[in-house]
Structure 1
Amino acid sequence: MINLIIMAKCLSSIYVVGHVVEGDFLRGIIAMPARKALEKEKIDSLEKLSDYSEKEIMELHGFGKNTIEKLKIYMKENHVSFKNN
């Protein structure tokens, strides 16, 4: 019985290390409606986001001036920017 408990603990820690939660991209940076809009467009990384212009992202549901400003600050901190129009 003890062996089963030890094995379960080992397996769960392996699972947690390799586990990536979907929908976590930009969590804590921008609000859920904007994150869902990005998810709908299959934008799940800063690299993919940089393939879009600021204007294109502003057209998505959930994006306004505040959200774009937060996003631009975060992107700048990570040395990424929107593509030029």
Structure 2
Amino acid sequence: MYIRCPTVLRGQSRRVRRISDMCLIVTLAVLAFANAHARPDVPECSVRACTEAGWVCGSRRLGENGLEYASFRGVPYAKQPLGELRFKVNIKG
């Protein structure tokens, strides 16, 4: 004969609910932390310059001498000299 005990079932469902809530909170915390540190090297676009290839976004930085300068990172100057392009004149990227 099977006897159902509602207090045990209720206690187990609360425990399962508590565990699933904790897993959700931990997952959200990990995602929030990962998202906050996902792109630390992306500078703000405080300086823009127009080039032949289009607009380039940069940022203002402070030099070792205390003077401010405009910094543009990741600007493609030419195609990589690989294969047939090795030791040839640069081709615009």
Normalization by structure 2: what TM-score?
0.30
Between Structure 1 and Structure 2, the one with more helix by share is 1
TM-score, L = length of structure 1: 0.32
Asked which structure has the greater CA Rg, the reply is 2
